[in-house]
Amino acid sequence: MRIILAADYQDMSRRAAGLIAAQVAQKPTSLLGLATGSSPLGIYRQLVAWHREEGLDFSRCRTVNLDEYVGLTPDSPQSYAYFMQQNLFDHVNLDPRNLHIPQGDCADPLEECRRYDRLLTQLGPIDLQLLGIGLNGHIGFNEPGESLNADTHCVALSQSTMDANARFFDPGQQMPTHAYTMGLGAIMTAKRVLLIASGAAKADILREMICGKVTTAVPASLLQLHRNVTVVADREALSRLPAELLE
């Protein structure tokens, strides 16, 4: 695992965006696995800036997002589809036909999971998968548990995840309790994984992910078994890691 120490959130975002831009330049038809949440916002801002100022070209790229809340329509401001539109898709030259996210308001949840897996098989493998990490070690919404699922599935969000993500919902608004998530199979078969983390709150879980046991109790620890993982994290998030591991 390659671990890149960034000075702060902005530096983390710029370095991680640089790796994505290099991937797109090297393979213009790249299949990019994308994440939502607060961690990737700076990356998306940087990619938009490079698209506008330097002509970074996404026209032939394809994207698959990790997850979506069950029950939310794509135009709901809390949906991940909406997040992606607002923060990336509306501002770069990705072809709308090439953008894929599990459909939160689908009529048949099981069929939606199968559809997404068929799509991942047809388009995949993912060239570069961007990941954040939950405070409990989740990646996508693959939550800690007795077992992990290789396939796209519908998951009951853990209390830790509900608490962490409540900030994105208005007070009094009902937060979804379930989400669709890509499984560990598609993540682990991605050619390259880029995991980002920022802030002191992520320090303990980042150490467990990198230095702890490989366990379903910390889904991100499975990435120790992946052959091409780059972690880009800021000083605070890496504060509990031995200095000799850092680049």
How far is it, in rounded angstroms, from Cα 164 to Cα 47?
26
Query: Which one among 17, 31, 66, 218 touches ligand F6R, defined by CB under 6 A?
Result: 66
CB 151, min distance to ligand F6R, A: 16
User: Does 42 participate in binding ligand F6R (rule CB under 6 A)?
Assistant: no
How far is it, in rounded angstroms, from Cα 55 to Cα 169?
35
CB-wise, 128 or 139, nearer to ligand F6R? Answer: 139
Instruction: Say how many CA atoms lie within 13 Å of 164 toward its Cβ.
Output: 17
* Cα–Cα nearest to 1, from 220, 239, 182: 220
The interface region with ligand F6R, picked from 22-30, 86-94, 131-139, 145-153 by CB under 6 A, is: 131-139
User: Does 219 participate in binding ligand F6R (rule CB under 6 A)?
Assistant: no
CB 53, min distance to ligand F6R, A: 26
Number of residues that bind ligand F6R (CB under 6 A): 13
Position of minimal CB gap to ligand F6R: 132
The 10 Å Cβ neighbour count of residue 247 is: 9
CB 244, min distance to ligand F6R, A: 27
User: Does 98 participate in binding ligand F6R (rule CB under 6 A)?
Assistant: no
Name the β-bridge partners of 142: 139
- Where do we find the tokens 């559809």? 115
Helices (H), the chain: 9-26, 41-54, 80-87, 109-123, 159-165, 184-188, 203-211
CA-to-CA dists, residue 236 to 163, 204, 206, 232, 240, angstroms: 22, 10, 11, 12, 8
Query: Which one among 51, 62, 138, 153 touches ligand F6R, defined by CB under 6 A?
Result: 138
User: Does 216 participate in binding ligand F6R (rule CB under 6 A)?
Assistant: no
CB-wise, 61 or 155, nearer to ligand F6R? Answer: 155
- Which two structure tokens, joined as six digits, stand for 107? 């009529």
CB-wise, 30 or 136, nearer to ligand F6R? Answer: 136
User: Does 38 participate in binding ligand F6R (rule CB under 6 A)?
Assistant: yes
What string marks each residue from 143 to 182 as x (binds ligand F6R by CB under 6 A) or -?
A: ----------------------------------------
CB 44, min distance to ligand F6R, A: 12
Sheet containing strand 193-197, strands side by side: 2-6, 229-234, 193-197, 128-131, 31-34, 62-65, 99-100
| DSSP one-letter code for 69 | E
Binding site for ligand F6R (CB under 6 A): 35-39, 66-67, 132-134, 138-140
